[in-house]
Amino acid sequence: MPVDVEAVVLSNTRLSDEYNVVALEAPEIAGRAAPGQFVMVKPWHGTDPLLRRPFSIFEVLASSAAGPAGITLLNKKVGVGTARLYQVEPGQRVACLGPLGRPFTAIDPPGEAWMVAGGVGLAPFATLAAALRARGTPATLFYGGRRHTELYHLDLFERLGTRLVLATEDGSRGHRGLVTEPLEAELGAKRGGDVTLYACGPTLMMRAVAALAAAHGRRAEVSLEPVMGCGLGGCYSCVVRTRRAHGAPHFVRSCLEGPVFDAAEIVWDELA
């Protein structure tokens, strides 16, 4: 059950000119959140822009004894709403509704989890990595960015025991090129075992992961990031065409039936 809070901004850590991490005091949301879920936030007052924005829950902040204290959001400035979230100051209050949406299905050992993140698509994987760690599931993060300075919070994943496979477009760290290239190589080299892929990032990357998973007979979940109006199923703006076992492809609301989908269900031609 989601709750709506006027969350106090605890901190705003600007990672670059584009990226920042905002910590919000929201114990009610933090205590309910599952990996891959999102919140609808509005870090401004007034009607321009009008609507809240969806953000994956990045981290759940632990407090000393009384349970989770809040959440963080990983943000990249791309439009007017994300620019406002980049600018928030500690002490400011932010309308925050959540947790919302269908979470990832964290698999158990001896299965392995391979997460694939592109850019700000890293956001849902910190909580998934923590959940996998708690289950003892071996986890790998394939993480791609434009350059080494845009690969964030690697230490967070290292502390969780996540194996890192990095890629940068300029070759300044890890593989030079797309993150799906080392993923393809490892999928090809992997014999047997139970590997589940989890992807979030640019649509073309997620589509490539879906295709690689299908080609190698692996299951994949993707976290889509469509434009959302309300986050609660009221407006029907965030639909994605999906193909289920029965019937014709059909628009479903990603706020309710996603944002995490089985990659094989998505009609990718209509997304990218």
The DSSP H or E segment spanning 190 is none
Q: How far is the CB of 97 from other proteins (least distance, A)?
A: 7
Do residues 33 and 98 touch, judged by C-beta distance below 8 A? yes
Instruction: State phi, psi for 157 to the nearest 5 degrees.
Output: -75, -35
Helix (H) or strand (E) holding 5: strand 3-14
- How many residues belong to the site for other proteins (CB under 8 A)? 30
CB 40 to other proteins: min, Å = 9
Site for other proteins in 242-271 (CB under 8 A): 250-251, 256, 270
DSSP 227: -
Q: How far is the CB of 126 from other proteins (least distance, A)?
A: 26
Strand pairing partners for 141? 115, 164
Window 66-105: contact mask with other proteins (x via CB under 8 A): -----------------------------x-x--------
Residue 202 lies near other proteins (rule: CB under 8 A): no
Q: Which of residues 12-51 bind other proteins (CB under 8 A)?
A: 42, 47-51
Pick from 22, 73, 151, 230 the residue near other proteins by CB under 8 A.
230
Instruction: Provide the H-helix boundaries in the chain.
Output: 27-30, 80-87, 125-135, 154-159, 180-189, 203-215, 254-257
Q: Which of 52, 76, 153, 207 binds other proteins (CB under 8 A)?
A: 52
Distance separating alpha carbons of residues 236 and 220, to the nearest angstrom = 25
Among residues 41, 33, 207, 195, which one has the least CA distance to residue 118?
207
| Least Cβ distance, residue 54 to other proteins (angstroms) | 12
The binding site for other proteins (CB under 8 A) comprises: 1-2, 4, 42, 47-52, 95, 97, 226-227, 229-230, 232-241, 250-251, 256, 270
